[in-house]
Structure 1
């Protein structure tokens, strides 16, 4: 997903990075620009969470910048993960990924040690989402600019913490870009400009899908505690991932929220665990379907599924009073028809180009507000599917249930039961 396409990257950067802040960041729903002076131009990365996503994010920074960026500190729960990531990055990027052994940390407190490394000025948060509010709080508290993977929380208490942290980022003029990379994807940006400009009229309905097959899992080893097994297989535990409606389908939900420039006020959902039933897959659902309702009465049909040998679709569509938009294909049909061009650069690279350009240019950006809304949209859908009840936004925001252990540590931790609609509370 991080491979580039289209024109040569060096030529592309020469012609577009000067405008990256104005075209990419400023176009995202909920992004807040402002002034903030910076010191050194060198970006020194501290990576928190060295799995495939974290190592991939570091590679994306390097792909977008031929110089002026270095990886200087890494933390992961487990040393083998850090070692594998550093080996791959060093083989590809040489000295830029040459981290001193004393700056490689493990354990639940490894993130704090990365943030204490004085050189670090750009933090990538890519540990499992359940840890994200705590990691974000520490990174902003340490005065660091942040690239923060999505989602930003797995429950309402986490959402409320991140809302407060968003205000803190604004007050401190610390920039935060999140992993909802479609906000940095040229085709999505142009499509949304046209939708917001009235190309399809008023939106009257929407569809958002992420239907695919099974994802990876790691077989349990005899030496692993319950906690280690769960963290290594974080996708399959709601306290770590939020379930796949939150961890993955957030992308599509976010696109519809972007189009509507706001979040839904109600979710009525169904879902279950029909095929992926083995205990190796934790306790999450393998499919969801949600009817979301927006304040103006617009409905969105949301579907996400992780079951092999079924129809797949990762897409977003809008129906308006004057036409339709197949947003993922950059297509508008109706009174005004249009088809966008292929993206000239990977959005996974572009999001780092945009953030680093903002930092170096003294422009403050904060993508937490719309990411909070889209994360909470997904959580509200999960609450409805788990419980079998219609859930309003206000009800979801009033939840006090905290899924994440207050003081996680290696050792025993039970796998929660599979939620049963009509019996589970949320």
Structure 2
């Protein structure tokens, strides 16, 4: 945990002056052992950079050899931050010729490695994952895995090929690697509070920072830099945020919802340049056994914060922080932290690299793709005002995220003369 906090602090201290200092980017090359795993980072934002740290911490015989980004300032900020971490700096061996920029940069970086970290906005995930699997690389990829149903189907198909090729795949739904969650899920699946009849997930937080147009080079760059404001870039808050909590419910029930209905909209996002994503949702998912999952999401400043998953069974209630309780107030289980506990972000990489080293089957693609689809269903329900069903929506050909190969391309949504983007509202056609 301390190393992770230090990393976050160090990345926030990178300055323009540091980026301009050529001595920071000198590379001390050491001969690579025959069993050294070469890592590439595709997407050099904060989460991608954090994942690179965790990958290098997970296995001492690893080296970062390539980086890929659309924006040079992001790549160099990431590189500087990585070089500034003493525990891994000697294994940051990314020469200038392996710092790739552009929409095809991911291909060049992936060809240089054994293991790739996919940390771009999710609009690019299906394309990047397909290529990595085709090239025979082990993959760590951040959630959500897709922004639409065509993307989900591509992810699932590539995941099948990964299994056929004996490739290891981990998805960044890190709660599945958290020992507290693992214990709670085991208890709930054993029936400690009876069948789960209802659950509620919360992801209530503040808003995201909007980067001004003056700091971007055009409309496409503006939308990619502000990807949290555009559904085609990040699948909306149902996928980009709440997926962590709803995935826990799917895990507990060992099932996915058959339908969802809900509402949502924009309360604080009402000015020019604020994209087309909703800033609040209420969703009601239904499982085949008739049980419900209620999902509340809000990304508005100056509102109260809450996050997590709560369960109601026939005999009691559960939440991993508060524990599992019977209806007469008896505490049936509460996680007891251990000095040996590993941060879940780190643990998922520990498991990933152990699976690679020991050649153990490991592929998170199916639950990652299905939880992404459930999240996308929620967004579709809130925007359409219709009941969205699992199979019907999974087979939908509606595509939010086109493949972008050039800065000359036009993004799928454009603002009017006042800078306002078209917003999908309930009752609109389609």
Q: TM-score range by the shorter chain?
A: 0.7 to 0.9
Shift of 1:409: 2.1
Distance in 2 separating the partners of 1:220 and 1:286: 21
Give the structure 1 partner of residue 9 of structure 2. Answer: none
Shift of 1:86: 0.2
Shift of 1:408: 3.9
Is this contact kept in 2: 1:4–1:345, CA < 8 A?
A: no
DSSP-derived class of the 1:337 partner? strand
Give the structure 1 partner of residue 317 of structure 2. Answer: 324
Q: Which moved more, 1:218-227 or 1:150-159?
A: 218-227
Distance in 2 separating the partners of 1:373 and 1:2: 33
Is this contact kept in 1: 2:281–2:382, CA < 8 A?
A: yes
Give the structure 1 partner of residue 55 of structure 2. Answer: 61
- The answer to whether residue 201 in structure 2 is matched with residue 208 in structure 1 is yes
DSSP-derived class of the 1:75 partner? strand
- The answer to whether residue 107 in structure 2 is matched with residue 115 in structure 1 is no
Give the structure 1 partner of residue 392 of structure 2. Answer: 395
DSSP-derived class of the 1:305 partner? strand
DSSP-derived class of the 2:163 partner? helix
Asked which structure has the greater RCO (Cα within 8 Å, sep 6+), the reply is: 1
Is this contact kept in 1: 2:216–2:222, CA < 8 A?
A: no
Give the structure 1 partner of residue 100 of structure 2. Answer: 105
Distance in 2 separating the partners of 1:147 and 1:259: 23
Give the structure 1 partner of residue 428 of structure 2. Answer: 423
Give the structure 1 partner of residue 325 of structure 2. Answer: 333
Distance in 1 separating the partners of 2:288 and 2:161: 29
- The answer to whether residue 334 in structure 2 is matched with residue 342 in structure 1 is no
Give me the CA root mean square deviation: 1.8
For residues 222-271 of structure 1, give each alpha carbon's deviation from its aligned partner in whole angstroms, at most 9, with x where no partner exists. 65111111111111111110111111111111011001101001111100
Relative to structure 1, the CA distance from residue 374 to residue 40 in structure 2 (aligned partners, 3 Å threshold; closer, same or farther) is farther
Distance in 2 separating the partners of 1:279 and 1:148: 32
Is this contact kept in 1: 2:262–2:378, CA < 8 A?
A: yes
Relative to structure 1, the CA distance from residue 314 to residue 2 in structure 2 (aligned partners, 3 Å threshold; closer, same or farther) is farther
Distance in 1 separating the partners of 2:178 and 2:334: 15
For residues 180-208 of structure 1, give each alpha carbon's deviation from its aligned partner in whole angstroms, at most 9, with x where no partner exists. 00011110011111111111111111111
Is this contact kept in 2: 1:191–1:330, CA < 8 A?
A: no
Gaps of 5+ in 2: 6-32, 415-420
Gaps of 5+ in 1: 6-38
Give the structure 1 partner of residue 228 of structure 2. Answer: 235
- The answer to whether residue 86 in structure 2 is matched with residue 82 in structure 1 is no
Give the structure 2 partner of residue 372 of structure 1. Answer: 369
Give the structure 2 partner of residue 363 of structure 1. Answer: 360
- The answer to whether residue 379 in structure 2 is matched with residue 382 in structure 1 is yes
Give the structure 2 partner of residue 254 of structure 1. Answer: 247
Shift of 1:75: 0.1
Give the structure 1 partner of residue 154 of structure 2. Answer: 161
Distance in 2 separating the partners of 1:48 and 1:390: 37
Give the structure 1 partner of residue 19 of structure 2. Answer: none
- Pick aligned residue for 2:37 from 40, 43, 50: 43
Give the structure 2 partner of residue 124 of structure 1. Answer: 117
TM-score using structure 1 length: 0.87
Shift of 1:40: 5.3
